[in-house]
């Protein structure tokens, strides 16, 4: 299982460094540059691997972190507000891609979101919490 917090960690260094660090922590084989670029394409981020990750916008950093999750290829993706820093159009594209990725590979995707629109459109099952209680 890989968990992505609402405000993901971005490490000092390049986008490539940030993508590879998840694989290093998980003690998995490192990905090739082509695989890294494919992961960036999956999250609709058209940036050079050599670019400084700390200089990216909030939404771009969030997409680097999502690409890092995808590269780790977990059985369960636990995502907390994975699109909170994205505009509505980009949010829809990214969530649709993550759902398709999970379904095609038989992965479980658990996502916390405040967006009822996203939850209604993409969830198989939904749990709504209000005032700390399941409703």
Q: Can you give the CATH number for the domain in which 41 is found? A: 3.40.50.300
Lookup result for tokens 């829809």: 92
- Residue 95: predicted pLDDT: 94
Instruction: Quote the CA–CA distance of 78 and 109 in Å, as a whole number.
Output: 6
Q: What is the pLDDT of residues 62-115, one digit of tens each?
A: 999 999 999 999 999 999 999 888 888 999 999 999 999 999 999 999 999 999
The pLDDT-based confidence of 6 (bands split at 50, 70, 90) is: confident
- Rounded CA-CA distance 1/38 in Å is 21
pLDDT value of position 63: 94
Range of the domain at 11: 2-134
Q: Do 19 and 67 contact (CB within 8 A), yes or no?
A: yes
pLDDT tens digits along 11-65: 999 999 999 999 999 899 999 999 999 999 999 999 999 999 999 999 999 999 9
pLDDT at 18: 97
Tokens in use for 97?
Answer: 């891609």
Which residues have a Cβ under 8 Å from the Cβ of 30 and sit 6 or more positions away? 20, 23, 24
SS3 (DSSP) at 78? strand
List, for residues 74-84, the tens digit of each pLDDT value: 999 999 999 88
Q: How many domains does the chain have?
A: 1
What pLDDT, on a 0 to 100 scale, did the predictor assign at position 83? 87
pLDDT computed for residue 84 by the predictor = 87
């Amino acid at each position: 299982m890989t968990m992505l917090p609402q405000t993901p960690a971005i490490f000092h260094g390049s986008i490539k460094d940030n993508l590879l660090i998840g694989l290093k922590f998980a003690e998995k084989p490192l990905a090739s540059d082509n695989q890294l670029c494919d992961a960036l394409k999956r999250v609709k981020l058209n940036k050079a691997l050599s670019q400084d990750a700390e200089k990216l916008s909030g939404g771009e950093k969030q997409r680097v972190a999502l690409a890092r999750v995808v590269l780790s290829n977990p059985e369960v993706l636990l995502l907390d507000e994975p699109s909170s820093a994205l505009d509505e159009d980009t949010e829809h594209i990214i969530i649709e891609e993550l759902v398709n990725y999970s379904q095609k590979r038989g992965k479980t995707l658990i996502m916390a979101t405040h967006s009822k629109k996203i939850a209604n459109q993409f969830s198989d099952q939904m749990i709504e919490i209000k005032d700390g209680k399941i409703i």
